[in-house]
Amino acid sequence: MKAPEATASGIGAERGGFVRNLATLRRRLGRSRDPWSGLSVNRHVRLVGAGAVIAALLIVLSVTILDIRAVGWARGLPETMTGFFRSATRFGKSDWLLIPAGVCGLALLVADWTRVERRIAAAWAEIGAFVLFFFLAVAGSGLTTDLVKWIVGRSRPGRFDVDGILTFTPFSSDAVFLSFPSGHATTAAAAALAVILMMRRFRWAGLTLLALAAVVAVSRIAVRAHFPSDVIGGIFVGATFTYG
């Protein structure tokens, strides 16, 4: 028997059941995440490529000029400012974002959408599409950063007096050699951009998260967990993975 066609709201045949709910969310996500609908694939690639070139130039500039100065700046901060940045830096941890998003997404996937009114099911689909995109952006960019950290093996600012700014121990699992790129900056950038792309009706939410992401990025330098070049690299990974 031929399955009924999906309606304009994306419910219809996909309502009910884990797999069908997932199909609904994926289709809704395809319609919702269209931030640059006027761009061709080639222009999209060129835009990402331009971002990569800019990020590379900023990283080189940072390594050449900023990284050493940032260590001195962080060491000279008053304790009150250091304490503030220690608190702020916690917002860059991915677990407090991924766990609620994962629980919410799983609940929507296993729910029986046929037992609720159509408008509620449509709302669930919209929420679920955002949660799915948000989770994949934060988790995917985080895993990418973890892989790059392991491959690069850059020494952290905490070892500056011993290693300087350009000491590398590739394929090390020791946290002191996992400086580039910054995982917190990756998470902050991915989360902020995901909200901006998926919640364009609530621009204030995206701008608020963008401001918080900037504070988190600076905090990683202030607590001497990363060099500025690490933070730039993390922002690039988070933004590129989310946008791409």
Is 83 a domain residue?
yes
Look at residue 3 and tell me if it is in a domain: no
Give the domain extent around 220: 40-243
105-154: pLDDT as tens digits: 888 887 776 777 788 878 878 888 889 899 999 999 999 999 999 999 99
Three-state DSSP at 223 gives: coil
Which two tokens mark 240? Answer: 């590129």
Q: Is 21 a domain residue?
A: no
Q: Does the residue 24 lie in any domain?
A: no
**Number of domains composing the chain:** 1
| CATH number for the domain harbouring residue 198 | 1.20.144
Q: What angle do CA 107, 132, 195 make, to 5 degrees?
A: 120
pLDDT in tens, the chain (244 residues): 333 333 434 444 444 466 666 666 666 666 555 444 445 567 777 888 888 999 999 999 999 999 999 999 999 999 999 999 999 999 999 999 999 999 988 888 877 767 777 888 788 788 888 898 999 999 999 999 999 999 999 999 999 999 999 999 999 989 999 999 999 999 999 999 999 988 877 778 888 989 999 999 999 999 999 999 999 999 999 999 998 7
Q: Tell me, yes or no, whether 118 lies in a domain.
A: yes
Residue 176 lies in a domain: yes
